[in-house]
Amino acid sequence: MHGLMMDLPLTVTAIMRHVERAYPDEEIVSITQDNPRHRYTYAQAFRRVRQLANALTAFGIRPSDRVGTLAWNDHRHFELYYAVSGMGAITHTINPRLFPEQIAWIINHACDRMLFVDPLVWPVIEKIRPQLTQVEAIVLLTDASHMPAASNVYCYEKFIGEHQEDISWPDLDERTACSLCYTSGTTGHPKGVLYSHRSQVLHSLFSSAVDALALSARDVVMPVVPMFHVNAWGLSYSAPMVGAKLVLPGPKMGDGETLQNLIETEQVTFSAGVPTVWMALLDFLRRSGKRIDSLQRVVIGGSACPWSVMEEFEREHNVHVHHAWGMTEMSPLGTVNQPIRGTDKLTSDDRKTLRMKQGRSFFGVEMKAVDEAGEELPRDGKSSGVLKVRGPTVCAQYFQEDGPGPAHAEPGWFATGDVAHIDSDGYLQITDRAKDVIKSGGEWISSIDLENAAMGHPAVAEAAVIAVPHPKWSERPLLVLVLRAGHALTREEMLEFLRERVAKLWLPDDVVFVSEIPHTATGKILKSELRKRFADFKLPE
């Protein structure tokens, strides 16, 4: 039919074009090992992106080749994102915190031809290099004066070298693969999720909307979520797209002092990350008395955000916390907790209950909770079941797998592996991961609710609840606690504290105190490890 709209493809190249034209002078600030405060503009960044793309072409990288990165949040990683995807190749971000064998497996599975590696990660890669069957070259992300004494590796600044700043980007179909990220895979091998240009552009549009992350050109965005895991929750694309200043904390993402300093000196207004990094920041602020006055909003997700974290941010620092939920397979954002009309009329208790939920899905993400027979459950805020999602930013099948696996058993839907309920306003509440559910006498006990309740005690630094086998109830909850430095707490005091806050049947059968709770490479509590550690634990009669 004649007279339709232009068919300009939704590509990362289009984001780049827009940013260069609309916000050339906006800044990207980053910390790297060779420069404590690197600063340049988007215009300068994209000039180097073009040089890098020319260097990659000269090396022999071709469309759909995989280029691996093992890097922190910084300007060179940013350049790789746009150069590799812009030329039609695939930016494969790899989590440097994984075990070396896992890293080697992922690199080989993805058939990465080149690796771009932060010097801090180089010692790990150097050891596994003989196992990397397809990698033809490794480039260290630094300048000549900071190169370690290593053979057979390139220096990034030299690699870009004198390459031209002019390029004619290929006209890509928006369904071209753009980037690749593997999920941690707590069971079996990690699974690759292959994002398309279209899915990334749509995710940026959907997720930056007012009722989602509400990003704008007035923001200074500091992603504390790593660029090596789901594109820093899409912020690597969405923050430039809206014209925000970007602040990249480099290798110091878990360090409260660095984060506070960056927030204060760069006037950060918006940040996003998993609960553990915010606990580290709040701890530093408590100890140092320092301020984070410019910070307006923090989005917390990746695992359930304890109320104590939300409350402290708001009470002490006037920072508004938005709970969010998503997963690698969803690009990753699915829901963000924003108020709707009438929320301000709720009692403070009801508002707290609402704020603790993971939020509402924005346009582009459809979700439903289903029962064991696969029937959709009512949206009544209490009927819990397996959560399924669909949409143009949801993975249709894992990378290099022959067909749809169990998660895609229902055609057109993806089973998230989370257990949740949805209320009549559309607010999602995750109660557990399916594999972490505690089934006691036929009833599901939410480990997340119990953990949140325990975290409400001022002596508790971190809480995890796991199922322990029980002869009568089949499983019962065990509470594992790490205490804050200088605090004391007994098992009885904790149980007394919980008695007023959770249903009697949910009360943990025992409480154990440990010095540290194990975490996954993406900062979540490693429940499988805890379950192993307490497999033979004898609950009191």
List active site positions.
Answer: 183, 329, 439, 444
Query: Does the protein bind ligand ADP through residue 414 (CB under 6 A)?
Result: no
Query: Does the protein bind ligand ADP through residue 303 (CB under 6 A)?
Result: yes
- When the beta carbons of 45 and 213 are compared against ligand ADP, the nearer one is 213
- When the beta carbons of 176 and 207 are compared against ligand ADP, the nearer one is 207
Phi and psi at residue 17, to the nearest 5°: -60, -45
Of 196, 199, 208, 358, the residue at the interface with ligand ADP (CB under 6 A) is 358
Query: Does the protein bind ligand ADP through residue 285 (CB under 6 A)?
Result: no
Could you tell me if 456 and 308 are in contact, meaning their C-beta atoms sit under 8 angstroms apart? Answer: yes
Compute the residue count for the chain: 541
Of 418, 449, 451, 509, the residue at the interface with ligand ADP (CB under 6 A) is 418
Of 194, 253, 304, 478, the residue at the interface with ligand ADP (CB under 6 A) is 304
Report the greatest alpha carbon distance in the chain: 77
The SS3 of residue 346 is coil
How near is the Cβ of 376 to ligand ADP at its closest, in Å?
Answer: 19
Query: Does the protein bind ligand ADP through residue 44 (CB under 6 A)?
Result: no
- 475-534 binders of ligand ADP (CB under 6 A): 520, 522, 524
Helices (H), 248-317: 256-266, 275-288, 307-317
The SS3 of residue 237 is helix
- When the beta carbons of 323 and 476 are compared against ligand ADP, the nearer one is 323
Separation CA 334–CA 319 (nearest Å)? 22
Could you tell me if 233 and 332 are in contact, meaning their C-beta atoms sit under 8 angstroms apart? Answer: yes
Could you tell me if 172 and 88 are in contact, meaning their C-beta atoms sit under 8 angstroms apart? Answer: yes
Question: Site map for ligand ADP, 178-197, x if CB under 6 A?
Answer: -----xx-------------
The one segment of 46-54, 263-271, 320-328, 406-414 that binds ligand ADP by CB under 6 A: 320-328
Residue burial 67-94, b: 16+ Cβ < 10 Å; e: rest:
bbbbbbbbbbbbbbbbbbbbbbbbbbbb
Query: Does the protein bind ligand ADP through residue 325 (CB under 6 A)?
Result: yes
Query: Does the protein bind ligand ADP through residue 249 (CB under 6 A)?
Result: no
Of 86, 301, 364, 477, the residue at the interface with ligand ADP (CB under 6 A) is 301
Quick one: which of 285, 287, 312, 292 has its CA closest to 300?
312
The one segment of 39-47, 214-222, 260-268, 318-326 that binds ligand ADP by CB under 6 A: 318-326
Query: What residues form DSSP beta bridges with 289?
Result: none
Locate 380 and state its tokens.
């009544």
- 426-445 binders of ligand ADP (CB under 6 A): 430, 433
Quick one: which of 509, 508, 462 has its CA closest to 487?
462
- When the beta carbons of 54 and 416 are compared against ligand ADP, the nearer one is 416
Query: Does the protein bind ligand ADP through residue 367 (CB under 6 A)?
Result: no
Query: Does the protein bind ligand ADP through residue 446 (CB under 6 A)?
Result: no
How near is the Cβ of 59 to ligand ADP at its closest, in Å?
Answer: 30
- When the beta carbons of 91 and 358 are compared against ligand ADP, the nearer one is 358
CA 338 distance to own-chain centroid: 19
How near is the Cβ of 303 to ligand ADP at its closest, in Å?
Answer: 5
Residue burial 102-139, b: 16+ Cβ < 10 Å; e: rest:
bbbbbbebbebbbbbbbbbbbebbbebeeebeebeebb
How near is the Cβ of 183 to ligand ADP at its closest, in Å?
Answer: 4
Query: Does the protein bind ligand ADP through residue 75 (CB under 6 A)?
Result: no
CB count within 10 Å of CB 194 equals: 20
Query: Does the protein bind ligand ADP through residue 327 (CB under 6 A)?
Result: yes
- When the beta carbons of 129 and 297 are compared against ligand ADP, the nearer one is 297
The one segment of 162-170, 234-242, 302-310, 339-347 that binds ligand ADP by CB under 6 A: 302-310
Which one-letter amino acid corresponds to residue 373?
A
Q: Is the dihedral of CA 18, 360, 292, 262 positive or negative?
A: negative
Query: Does the protein bind ligand ADP through residue 452 (CB under 6 A)?
Result: no
- When the beta carbons of 143 and 423 are compared against ligand ADP, the nearer one is 423
Count residues contacting ligand ADP (CB under 6 A)? 21
Question: Site map for ligand ADP, 128-167, x if CB under 6 A?
Answer: ----------------------------------------
Beta strands in 292-376 (DSSP E): 297-300, 320-326, 333-336, 359-361, 366-370
Radius of gyration of the chain (CA): 23
Query: Helices 307-317 and 275-288 sit at what angle, rounded to 10 degrees?
Result: 40
- When the beta carbons of 127 and 439 are compared against ligand ADP, the nearer one is 439
Binding residues for ligand ADP, rule: CB under 6 A, are 183-184, 301-304, 323-325, 327-328, 332, 358, 416-418, 430, 433, 520, 522, 524
